[in-house]
Structure 1
């Protein structure tokens, strides 16, 4: 659950500031990507865990309300995961994640491998233990399912996870943490030694797509006024997975995902800000050279 405080300027260490608004919004990187993919037209199943608290009830209902299959969503004793977010008037954010029930997802449960095997793609993030991420990735790899990994929160990735990852989607900061290279092109090049495809998201500058034995492709983002950038990256990944599953080329898929992300940053909240497919299609159609998925 995202606990979001809106302020003019984020507080520095030891400083107290007065906020102008507070919202409690269903979130979490996995759930955000699930909602983004579902609203983009995908058929989505969520694997994860919530606590047996009130937040857990709300989170499950929120996913189901967006058409996400929650059959793989466990309920465990204790608190659900929370993210404590401060959003400033420039749309920037700072986030503290408390894992809660997410910390119990250290492997696959009964039925999870079947759910993964039935998918076109498995979207993974690092807000659950690496053991759970690796188990899911290995199951997907064994069944020929595309593994898309968002390495956030950023941390060193074990070689055995990278070996079964098809597409890595870090932002600029995460790419720099993983490679020690601040330039996105250099970071993407270094990451291609570890995985076959990389997309580095660049915020308002768009995204950079790199694949082995080809020149990187930069896809610009639409110019919009950002109100809240929370979950912009998750919106992008969810839409990208759907566009890719529909057979679009990567440049086209990236442009469409950028359109979805651009819509999301103009609205407050995480999953609440994510556009539905009709909205993304309409917005993408207004952009120069864009086409909606067939």
Structure 2
């Protein structure tokens, strides 16, 4: 299937520590890694590795980091021909991951804040997946062009533009975002991830599917929600039944947390069927 993703592209600077520092505290046992990240890039890379034909709309800087992110995405199988190059530095995320795989993140958007919404081009009929790590006008521009299935991963949580909310066929949130965004509670289709407990799918507020979580070794939860979103989007867009789509997405999310990278190595989607 053909999928276009609109979203952020970041360099992830990740410090792994035994425990995250408290306010005002220094923890000295960290190890630092530098990886490809950003919610848009993570979802595009995951979808491509799951077997979709994926194009990413976003922006990087005219710098070494931007060129590196393009190469990483292309290596994952993502079409980067529509990624814009802007004067600002490529976005960066500063991430702390503790021994249990839990994370805290500070995003410095850089080039992601300079995406030219007027230059976005969504092809007629193609499925479209967006997040909220880019400016509202970018998300609105994408929604206005969407004629195929349109999904919104409402993360990071903030007020969703009215036009986007009412155009969305599917909204994806975690438990915390669900509590912060009461406006999504009665949308046509809502997926809520529940961490280790799995996920539920609600149609106009009524539960229509539930999937259990899979036991796995947690290495890094940064890319898990993005992998889940990519898998759920692909599965529903191709016509899978809701319970099957949700279970596949949970299995992919479990595979993602077992990988140290924000853009984990994944197999074709149907290999996760139980």
Normalization by structure 2: what TM-score?
0.92
Is 2:15–2:95's contact at 8 Å kept on the other side of the alignment? yes
Whether 2:247 is the aligned partner of 1:255: answer yes
- Structure 1 position 30, deviation (Å): 0.3
Is 1:46–1:72's contact at 8 Å kept on the other side of the alignment? yes
Q: Per-residue displacement from partner, 1:14-50 (whole Å, max 9, x unpaired)?
A: 1110234211000000000001100000000000100
- Structure 1 position 69, deviation (Å): 0.7
- Structure 1 position 171, deviation (Å): 0.7
Deviating 4+ runs (over 6 angstroms): none
Which of 92, 105, 114 is the aligned partner of 1:104?
Answer: 114
Which of 184, 187, 191 is the aligned partner of 2:184?
Answer: 191
Does the residue aligned with 2:234 lie in a helix, a strand or coil?
A: helix
Whether 2:97 is the aligned partner of 1:91: answer no
Counterpart CA distance in 1 for 2:12 and 2:29 is 16
Whether 2:9 is the aligned partner of 1:13: answer no
Aligned to 2:267: 276
After TM superposition, list the pairs within 5 Å mapping 1:105-120 onto structure 2: 105=115, 107-109=117-119, 112-113=120-121, 115-119=122-126
Counterpart CA distance in 1 for 2:118 and 2:68 is 23
Does the residue aligned with 1:70 lie in a helix, a strand or coil?
A: coil
- 5+ unaligned residues in a row in structure 2: which ranges? 1-10
Aligned to 1:200: 192
Counterpart CA distance in 2 for 1:220 and 1:25 is 30
- Structure 1 position 116, deviation (Å): 3.5
Aligned to 2:156: 153
CA separation of 1:118/1:56 partners in 2, compared to 1, >3 Å: closer, same or farther?
A: farther
Query: Which stretch of the first structure deviates more once superposed, 210-219 or 164-173?
Result: 210-219
Does the residue aligned with 2:226 lie in a helix, a strand or coil?
A: helix
Pairwise CA RMSD: 1.6
- Structure 1 position 166, deviation (Å): 1.1
CA separation of 1:197/1:237 partners in 2, compared to 1, >3 Å: closer, same or farther?
A: same
Q: How many residues align?
A: 264
Does the residue aligned with 1:31 lie in a helix, a strand or coil?
A: helix
Query: Which stretch of the first structure deviates more once superposed, 85-94 or 206-215?
Result: 206-215
- Structure 1 position 117, deviation (Å): 2.2
Counterpart CA distance in 2 for 1:52 and 1:107 is 18
Aligned to 1:134: 140
- 5+ unaligned residues in a row in structure 1: which ranges? 180-189
- Structure 1 position 71, deviation (Å): 1.4
Aligned to 2:39: 29
Which of 238, 247, 266 is the aligned partner of 2:258?
Answer: 266
Is 2:228–2:249's contact at 8 Å kept on the other side of the alignment? yes
